[in-house]
Amino acid sequence: MNYGFWGKLNKPFTVLAPMANVTDWAFRQIIIQTGRPDVFYTEFVSCDGICALGPEKFRGELYFEKNERPIVAQFFTADPEKLKRCVEMAVKMGFDGVDINMGCPDRSIEKQGAGAALIKNPKLARALIKAAKQVAGSLPISVKTRLGYNKIETESWIPHLVEEGIAALVVHGRTRKEMSSVPAHWDEMGKIAEMAKPVGTLVVGNGDIKDMAEARQKASEYKLDGIMIGRGIFNNPWFFNENIKPDSIRPKDKIKLMLQHCDNFSKLWKGEDKTTVKNFDTLKRFFKIYINDWPGAKDLRAQLMDSKSIDEAKALVLGYLKSNS
Ligand SMILES: Cc1cc2nc3c(=O)[nH]c(=O)nc-3n(C[C@H](O)[C@H](O)[C@H](O)COP(=O)(O)O)c2cc1C
């Protein structure tokens, strides 16, 4: 088995989940400052998009720096040949691993036969893994998926993936139908760990983890190699840093992060060449993360949600800092 970097991690390891419009370089650099996970992912990127428009159009999504290693590029597609081209590109770009998305419930992605639609098409799912492995060289291949499509299908779906000899399998403990509306079925994770054992695929559990203590408890209870954290980081950007207690974080610490994030965002998405630009509204999700939990935060946040540009948002928080220091 080619484990690549996955084989060198201390267990249980932590992974920041791929999240579209969230886990770009701008945000990952913030998390490096607050306290990093063992592994980073990019947000997912369309192989069909890369093959049609060229990788330059996805410069922002794919950009990373050395201090983010190990970092995995996540792709979605239903076309093994396009996946091959993107894996070759990821090798050249110096990514540490490639992950194939087999869990996204977005209709536009499923329409292409990609994301969660692959749960209904194990033959194609297997062909995608085979294609990726053919060209990956020393780069490890992983898959991120769900427990099933309309119902839990652990026993019939998961073996298709582990039998292909992937280095790691990340399982979001819900079905496609459940989206994110019910608590994750962690009891299925133990079964998956057992299924993966004979092949040696590492199993990473994902879904609803609130803090590091819970991450460790779930890994131990279900004998998992690692835990992936998504929305938990929204509640606490210091999630991975157990030396920082959430109630010791001051409003100005959060505001500082927000200002830094704004600068990172401007740098990444409005580069000199202007090949890739992201709408300012994408940044508003983060205002909710940074500006909360203190008297006055609600009003400031409301003003930020009405702001029209990064400069306006920055001026608002700087003004707030000045009048509250
Ligand atoms: C805003 C957002 C964007 C997401 N984008 C992706 C993505 O690009 N690729 C992916 O595999 N999963 C994506 N997910 C799913 C997460 O990776 C994760 O599986 C899910 O949020 C459950 O974990 P959590 O309960 O820790 O958040 C996304 C989730 C959110 C909330």
Query: Which pLDDT tens digit goes with each residue over 11-25?
Result: 999 999 999 999 999
Residue 13 forms beta bridges with which residues?
226
- 3-state secondary structure (DSSP) of residue 32: helix
What is the edge-to-edge ordering of all strands in the sheet holding 13-16? Answer: 13-16, 226-229, 202-206, 168-175, 141-148, 97-102, 71-76, 40-46
- Tell which atom from ligand 1 comes closest to the C-alpha of 232: 26
Same domain, 144 and 183: yes
d(CA 282, CA 298): 19
d(CA 222, CA 190): 4
The alpha carbon of 262 and the centre of ligand 1 are apart by a number of angstroms equal to 22
Residue 33: what pLDDT? 97
Tokens encoding 196: 């993966």
> Domain with 221 in it: what CATH number?
3.20.20.70
Comparing CA positions, the residue from 52, 29, 53, 43 lying closest to residue 75 is: 43
Quick check: pTM over 0.85?
yes
Same domain, 198 and 73: yes
- Tell which atom from ligand 1 comes closest to the C-alpha of 74: 9
Same domain, 129 and 263: no
Residue nearest to atom 18 of ligand 1 (CA): 230
Comparing CA positions, the residue from 184, 166, 165 lying closest to residue 175 is: 184
The alpha carbon of 28 and the centre of ligand 1 are apart by a number of angstroms equal to 15
d(CA 135, CA 138): 9
**Torsion from C-alpha of 125, 127, 130, 135, nearest 10 degrees:** -110
Residue 85 included in any domain: yes
d(CA 293, CA 214): 22
Q: What is the pLDDT of residues 122-138, one digit of tens each?
A: 999 999 999 999 999 99
Q: DSSP character for 237?
A: T
d(CA 88, CA 111): 25
Residue 181: what pLDDT? 80
H-type alpha helices, 114-243: 122-135, 154-162, 187-196, 212-221, 232-235
Same domain, 294 and 222: no
Same domain, 85 and 217: yes
The residue out of 235, 266, 289 marking a domain boundary is 235
Say whether 144 counts as a known binding-site residue: yes
**pLDDT score of 147 more than 80:** yes
Do the Cβ atoms of 20 and 50 come closer than 8 Å? no
User: Mean per-residue pLDDT for 215-227?
Assistant: 98
Q: What is the pLDDT of residues 100-124, one digit of tens each?
A: 999 999 999 999 999 999 999 999 9
Tokens encoding 183: 């608590």
Tokens encoding 26: 């701008």
Say whether 134 counts as a known binding-site residue: no
Tokens encoding 146: 């769900």
Same domain, 265 and 288: yes
Same domain, 181 and 228: yes
Residue 272: what pLDDT? 55
The residue out of 189, 206, 235 marking a domain boundary is 235
Same domain, 272 and 305: yes
φ and ψ of 233, to 5 deg: -70, -25
Domain count, the chain: 2
Residue 244 included in any domain: no
Residue 279: what pLDDT? 85
The residue out of 206, 235, 264 marking a domain boundary is 235
Q: What is the pLDDT of residues 38-62, one digit of tens each?
A: 999 999 999 999 999 999 999 999 9
Domain with 167 in it: 4-235
d(CA 154, CA 320): 51
Q: What is the pLDDT of residues 277-315, one digit of tens each?
A: 788 899 999 999 999 989 889 999 999 999 999 999 999
Same domain, 105 and 29: yes
Q: DSSP character for 50?
A: H
Residue 243 included in any domain: no
d(CA 247, CA 238): 11
